Amino acid sequence: MNFSRLDWTVLVFTLLLIIVYGVYRSRTSKNLEGYLLSDRQLPWWLVLLSIMGTQASAITFLTVPGQAYSEGMRFVQYYFGLPLAMVVICIIFVPVFHRLKVFTAYEYLEQRFDVKTRLLTSFLFLLSRGLSTGISIIAPSLVLHSMLGWDMTFTTLFMGGLLIIYTVSGGAKAVAYTQQLQIIIIYAAMFIAAWWAIKMLPAGIGITEALHVGGKSGKLNVITSGVTEHGFDWKDRYNIWSGVIGGFFLALSYFGTDQSQVGRYLTARSEQESKLGLLMNGLAKVPLQFGILLIGVLIFAFYQFTKEPAYFNLAQERTLRQSVNAGEFAAAEKKYLQVQDEKRKTAMALGNALKQDDATKVNQLRTQLQQEQQQATQVRDSIKNIVKKTIPGSDGNDTNYIFLRFVGDFLPNGLVGLIIAIIFLASWSSIAAALHALASCTMIDFHKRLSKTPTTPLREYRWSQAYALIWGIFCVVVAQFSYNLGNSLVEAVNILGSWFYGTILGVFLVAIFMKRVGGNAVFFGAILAEAVVISVYSLDLLSFLWLNLVGAAAVLLFSGLLQVTFFSKSSKVEPRVAIKK
């Protein structure tokens, strides 16, 4: 890939701009309130951008367009439960957190139950967030490895190191202000990338024809029911039901009980402004995600009129060409180019037929295009199998590389640098928030709660910085083991979250709605629920989005049962804190 001097200039300038701006805005009180919560002084729009920046990691911008390219746009349904969850969180969670002036969501659980329940949920959060942040760190390293040929380990250490310095030195205020700038740059750059894909379409093919080609190849499957000829497919990952129901519980858990998000809206100057930030996020998320996926479809459409790589991972492609299976790969690639040639002719003919409004011809060409697309998919699958048997540890999945390959091959100098920069910005944006959340929980829920030594606000501030540093190192180490994760990175992170989110959400729901359940019942109920979630996942009984619902429901059920059977006398049955509904 040609990474020109102009690209380097744009990349370095953009990263420096963020770091300088972050340092400039990082002046805050040197105590826990200042470092972890920005003195609770931020306006709602900054909270909104901070929430969006925390959720939209580099993975979002790397792999989501690739997912639309390979599987179509149905991934957008994953976010359908989010808007409603935002309203519920504003009614149930936000007032409690603000009234109790907590630093972490889990502090509330001690006030409601006991210290062991608080520590258990905080531990589950630390475990899931620590691991998923490690996976997130690998995303920008993949960019440099694949496009510039940099060593993965070196790249991860280099990027993680920069991130740690920036995160540890800046406070929550710096995180929020840099996220504001990052989100603006990111969406502007993605819009330019989409515009460029449309601009490069051949003469006579506009955005409408491009969308028709994408749609007729099955890539605009935004709404899917999950129903097959054998009934509802519970293992289907993305459909309207798993999105609305499973996605609702996932969003409820992520925004209501995950400290990396709770920590963002606790920085608001008032309860009202926290709520407004969350509600606006609920309205904006689905259209924005739709836009990112649409970029993937436009890239797919663009490749129907030009030479499409048979395999998008440039580094692995090079290895393949020098391996013992090079001949087999070359034969498969030749076959792919032949199918592609046919597809190109059909796509051009389809574009012309659409312009002439010839319905009969359009129908005939649609069927032909679908058949050719099936052939292309089969050949690509055979190439993935060659990759799997040639490169040990690889799963042959090139979804993460589709967008990057397009950027590297077709975008002009300068814009390539900007796209690489936004990958870093998005990564920093979410990881900085996560590291702060991990440091907050370790400091507040464990260190401060369990330590018996009196200390000063300045020492607490220094300890928080030390924990951010330790978690940063932990995440970089995890990243070293995440390179060859099955499926795309975004799914790996989501699956990991679904293992724990349901259980954590269940504990909070018991706290708020089941006032007769005490600490012992919910503690053991949560442990049993976690065992159920892991069993359901291991036995492959349900798609991962349903695990959120299973985990939450299991905690409610087990806690209720344990309370009325084993702990009816031993546990306190009234909450220490009145919850306003």
Query: Binding residues for other proteins, per CB under 8 A?
Result: 76, 80, 83-84, 86-87, 90-91, 95, 99-101, 211-212, 214-216, 218, 220-223, 240, 271-272, 275-276, 279, 282-283, 286-287, 290, 577-578, 580
Nearer residue to other proteins within complex by CB, 304 or 397? 304
Nearer residue to other proteins within complex by CB, 91 or 337? 91
Question: Cα 240 from chain centroid?
Answer: 19
Segments of 486-575 assigned E as strands: none
Nearer residue to other proteins within complex by CB, 189 or 222? 222
Helix and strand element counts for the chain (H, E)? 24, 2
Segments of 92-198 assigned E as strands: none
Nearer residue to other proteins within complex by CB, 49 or 220? 220
Q: Is 562 exposed, middle or buried (0-12, 13-18, 19+ CB in 10 A)?
A: buried
Q: How far apart are CA 214 and CA 437, in angstroms?
A: 40
Nearer residue to other proteins within complex by CB, 221 or 375? 221
What string of DSSP letters covers 164-185? HHHHHHS-HHHHHHHHHHHHHH
Among 125, 115, 97, which Cα is nearest to 450's? Answer: 115
Nearer residue to other proteins within complex by CB, 143 or 220? 220
Q: Which amino acid is at 57?
A: S
Q: How far is the CB of 186 from other proteins (least distance, A)?
A: 22
- Are the beta carbons of 479 and 134 closer than 8 angstroms? yes
Among 14, 205, 155, which Cα is nearest to 483's? Answer: 155
Nearer residue to other proteins within complex by CB, 157 or 244? 244
Q: How far apart are CA 414 and CA 506, in angstroms?
A: 48
Distances (CA, A) of 205 to 348, 352, 410: 8, 8, 18
Mapped onto helix, strand or coil, the DSSP state of residue 567 is coil
What string of DSSP letters covers 230-280? TEE-TT-SSSHHIIIIIHHHHHHHHHHH-HHHHHHHTTBSSHHHHHHHHHH
Nearer residue to other proteins within complex by CB, 224 or 400? 224
Nearer residue to other proteins within complex by CB, 130 or 282? 282
Record the tokens describing residue 362, joined without a space: 């359009």
Q: Is 248 exposed, middle or buried (0-12, 13-18, 19+ CB in 10 A)?
A: buried
Q: How far is the CB of 215 from other proteins (least distance, A)?
A: 3
Q: How far apart are CA 560 and CA 576, in angstroms?
A: 19
Nearer residue to other proteins within complex by CB, 293 or 419? 293
Q: How far is the CB of 122 from other proteins (least distance, A)?
A: 22
Q: How far is the CB of 302 from other proteins (least distance, A)?
A: 16
Q: How far is the CB of 353 from other proteins (least distance, A)?
A: 14
Q: How far is the CB of 54 from other proteins (least distance, A)?
A: 20
Considering all CA atoms of the chain, what is the largest pairwise distance in Å, rounded to the nearest integer?
A: 82
Other beta carbons within 10 Å of 425? 26
Q: How far is the CB of 205 from other proteins (least distance, A)?
A: 14
Query: Beta partners for 555?
Result: none
Q: How far is the CB of 221 from other proteins (least distance, A)?
A: 6
Q: How far apart are CA 113 and CA 96, in angstroms?
A: 14
Q: For 450-481, give one letter per residue: b (16+ CB within 10 A) or e.
A: eeeeeeeeeebbebbbebbbbbbebbbebbbe
Q: If residue 228 lies in a helix (H) or strand (E), which one and from where to where?
A: strand 227-228
Nearer residue to other proteins within complex by CB, 213 or 423? 213
Which residue has tokens 């709404």? Answer: 223
Q: How far is the CB of 216 from other proteins (least distance, A)?
A: 7
Q: How far is the CB of 93 from other proteins (least distance, A)?
A: 13
Record the tokens describing residue 223, joined without a space: 């709404």
Q: How far is the CB of 239 from other proteins (least distance, A)?
A: 12
Q: How far is the CB of 261 from other proteins (least distance, A)?
A: 18
Sign, CA dihedral 190-194-199-201, equals positive
Nearer residue to other proteins within complex by CB, 99 or 361? 99
Q: How far is the CB of 230 from other proteins (least distance, A)?
A: 23
- Running DSSP on this structure, what letter comes out for residue 485? -
Nearer residue to other proteins within complex by CB, 99 or 448? 99
Record the tokens describing residue 291, joined without a space: 């836009």
Nearer residue to other proteins within complex by CB, 222 or 517? 222
Q: If residue 82 lies in a helix (H) or strand (E), which one and from where to where?
A: helix 82-100
Q: How far is the CB of 213 from other proteins (least distance, A)?
A: 9
Integer-rounded Cα Rg, in Å, for the chain is: 25
